[in-house]
Structure 1
Amino acid sequence: MIITRTPFRVSFAGGGSDLPSFYKKHEGCVLSTSINKYMYVSIHPTFDRKITSIKYSKAENVEDVRKINHPIARQLLLDYKVSGVEINSIADVPSGTGLSTSSAYTVGLINLLKAYTGKYASQAKVAEEACRVEINKLGEPIGKQDQYGTAIGGLKFIRFLSDDTVDVEPVIVKPKTRQKLDRNLLLFYTGLTHSAGEILKEQSHNILSDEKKFENTIRMTELTKEMYRTLLSDDLDRFGEILHENWELKRELSQGITNYTVDKYYDKAMNAGARGGKLLGAGGGGFLLFYCDRCHQDRLRSELSDLVELPFSMENGGTKVIYVGEKDWD
């Protein structure tokens, strides 16, 4: 048996600028971090090697890999010419909640199949392959930040260039700044899930067809760069304010990004003392992230007491193989 562990990611600013409809015309960028909530994927030869088994929220058992319904698992097993195995996945959070569960699965499975077939690739190469699978082969209308955000660990500034390359720069901050940031970031689950593909498809169309929305996205990249500078200068008060300014711009990019429930809880948190926040992922549901000074956190938690809080912290590892058993396959 082999097991990989891939972190989920929290994106602070710049989401949407990783779509080709934007970065082909203007350089995109996001500031994000991997967190200590994970996707685990394991592989083991099946007892009956004629059967390939995929277990996620459903269970599939097939003799022909081409008949697997799960598109990512099917594509990658075909790419790596692997069959006669059982692949299981389990996650710390539900899917469709804005923490990049789908891309974390893709990244984790690529890392897993490389280990299983005796190949090696850097985290950046795993991220690049995950983009190629999800965007080019499966035709998902998504960007590139999730693949790089989950494959490569730590706090990072990611640039999306017009030639389709991606540049990842680690953000090195003082220990006290990192500790304060960890302490003042709070996550709450709205109970709503969403279809990222549909929202991003509309957002991509709007960026191409609406000049104001394109200008909004440019402004979001400028805020992302400023947010990066706030971390280097230990100005976390401004970091929180930029979270709010970025959210105000993002919610104008597509109708599906926010809704009554999201707005209600967001307003409650801001009135309770949060400096800023945003909905993670494409929009429509999932997790709300807030930056809130410790002196206001009890009040904020009280105002959002009917939501589930997810305690978390930033992590540095990225996707990795965490277990390799004795070789018991051909």
Structure 2
Amino acid sequence: MLKVSTPSRICLFGEHQDYLGLEVIASGINLRFSTKAEKRDDMLLHIKIRDKSISELGAKNIDNKYEEYTIDMSQELKYENNRDYFKSIVNVLKKEGFPLVGADVTMDSEIPIGKGMCSSTTMVLVLTTTLAALCDRGRASDSKLMAKLAWKAEVEEFNEPGGMMDQYASALGGLVHIDFSDGVVPEKLDVDLKGCFILFDSLQQKDTIKVLGDSKYPTQEGLKELEQYGIHSIRDFYENPELEKYVDSLDELHQRKIRANIDNYRIQREALDMLSSGNVDDEKLGQLLSRQHKNLRDGLQISTPIIDKVLDTAIQNGAYGGKFNGSGGGGCMYCYAPVGKAEQIVKAVNDMGYPAMVLKQDKGVTITDC
């Protein structure tokens, strides 16, 4: 039997910038999606996956509730909807030349669903890696390749607007800086943070695809209009600040989106310098997180009153700062806080009626025999 596991992630800096060809800083965390798989003698793929009704942070599958699916991988697979991921995984692996074999796969997760914790991405990544490992363990052990194929299965196959941050952050694990300006260039950041991250669940579901589209397309449209001034990327404003005067030529919507992304890129660069130096100022790190959240809330307009209220409560109880996690519009958020304040912060948010847990950094995708 084969066991494969991959972590969820938090995005520290660069939210909504990976699909703009910019950079992100993210960390794998100790909420994981896992599979147990055995080969079959036919070409059927039989999947048991934790029921999607078990969706809140900290929810346990104590009743062993699973949904079941069967796919005949010997047949041509046509998509029935834009999230037909089991079929898209098989199709992508076939295109990449993997000699697939039939399998019985049980899938379990600790990751809240629809909450910005990349539950869909980790599901796609872990199953992609599992099916690949059953027929070609060597290629499946290439975490960067698995991240790329998972992105193809989740995004490219359905022509959706998602970037690649989630796939690479999960596959690689740890604290990682990923540059998307020329392909995908990941760099592990070896830094020991003195504080801790605390995750909160707003209990609000969100429409990830709509939020991504509402943030991505106006920014791209604004950049397109600014090409007449020699501007092709948000990075251009960082390298030549005098170019920002041309943003005034845009309408209010496009100005707001562009300016939020400009400042968020500056924040990311400042954070990267600090984290790369190894000399981390905890209060400054928290302030940068909160500044980014303000841009996401007011500029991209993708926070919610509940998220803002929970983050305010965390800060009032000693957190350095925080932001929502993932695409926005609901879901989870987190704060960065002194370890000694964690219990107080968790209790204050629990008293408001929202789940909370202290996070730990975690390794990337793993493949083991069991």
Contact 1:60 1:68 in 2 (8 A): no
Partner of residue 223, structure 1: 267
State the 1:273 CA deviation.
Answer: 2.5
Partner of residue 277, structure 1: 322
Partner of residue 165, structure 2: 145
- Which of the numbers 206, 211, 217 marks the counterpart of 1:194? 206
Relative distance call for 1:295 and 1:108 in structure 2 (3 A) is closer
Q: Distance in 2 between matches of 1:106 and 1:310?
A: 25
Q: Distance in 2 between matches of 1:283 and 1:203?
A: 10
Contact 2:25 2:176 in 1 (8 A): yes
- Which of the numbers 353, 358, 362 marks the counterpart of 1:311? 358
Partner of residue 245, structure 1: 291
- Which of the numbers 318, 326, 334 marks the counterpart of 1:289? 334
- Which of the numbers 82, 88, 101 marks the counterpart of 1:75? 88
Q: Distance in 2 between matches of 1:188 and 1:196?
A: 18
Q: Which amino acid aligns with 2:130?
A: L
What TM-score results when the alignment is normalised by the length of structure 1?
0.85
Q: Distance in 1 between matches of 2:358 and 2:319?
A: 17
SS at structure 2 position matched to 1:252: helix
Partner of residue 126, structure 1: 146
Contact 1:230 1:236 in 2 (8 A): no
SS at structure 1 position matched to 2:263: helix
Cα deviation code 1:25-72 (max 9, x no counterpart): xxx11111111211102332358x364322223322344572786622
- Which of the numbers 50, 56, 59 marks the counterpart of 2:68? 59
SS at structure 1 position matched to 2:156: helix
Cα deviation code 1:248-271 (max 9, x no counterpart): 11123444x212221221222222
Cα deviation code 1:289-321 (max 9, x no counterpart): 001224544442332122211232012x31111
1:204 matched to 2:216: yes
Relative distance call for 1:41 and 1:307 in structure 2 (3 A) is same
- Which of the numbers 135, 143, 150 marks the counterpart of 2:155? 135
SS at structure 1 position matched to 2:358: coil
Partner of residue 176, structure 2: 156
Cα deviation code 1:163-222 (max 9, x no counterpart): 4x011111112xxx33x13xx321122222222111101111221231331232122122
Relative distance call for 1:44 and 1:294 in structure 2 (3 A) is closer
Q: Distance in 2 between matches of 1:293 and 1:85?
A: 46
Q: Distance in 2 between matches of 1:240 and 1:50?
A: 51
Q: Distance in 2 between matches of 1:126 and 1:243?
A: 30
Q: Distance in 1 between matches of 2:357 and 2:346?
A: 12
Relative distance call for 1:40 and 1:216 in structure 2 (3 A) is same
Contact 1:41 1:105 in 2 (8 A): no
Relative distance call for 1:50 and 1:319 in structure 2 (3 A) is closer
Q: Which shifted more, 74-83 or 245-254?
A: 74-83
- Which of the numbers 107, 110, 120 marks the counterpart of 1:102? 120
Partner of residue 266, structure 1: 311
Q: Distance in 2 between matches of 1:295 and 1:76?
A: 44
SS at structure 2 position matched to 1:251: helix
Query: Structure 1 stretches (4+) deviating beyond 4 angstroms?
Result: 62-65, 67-70
Q: Percent identity?
A: 23
Q: Distance in 2 between matches of 1:212 and 1:267?
A: 24
- Matched residues, number: 307
Contact 1:62 1:68 in 2 (8 A): no
Structure 1 unmatched runs, 5+:
325-330
Cα deviation code 1:88-135 (max 9, x no counterpart): 211112211212111112221222122111252321121122222222
What TM-score results when the alignment is normalised by the length of structure 2?
0.76
Structure 2 unmatched runs, 5+:
52-66, 95-99, 222-253
Q: Which amino acid aligns with 1:123?
A: S
Q: CA RMSD in A?
A: 2.2
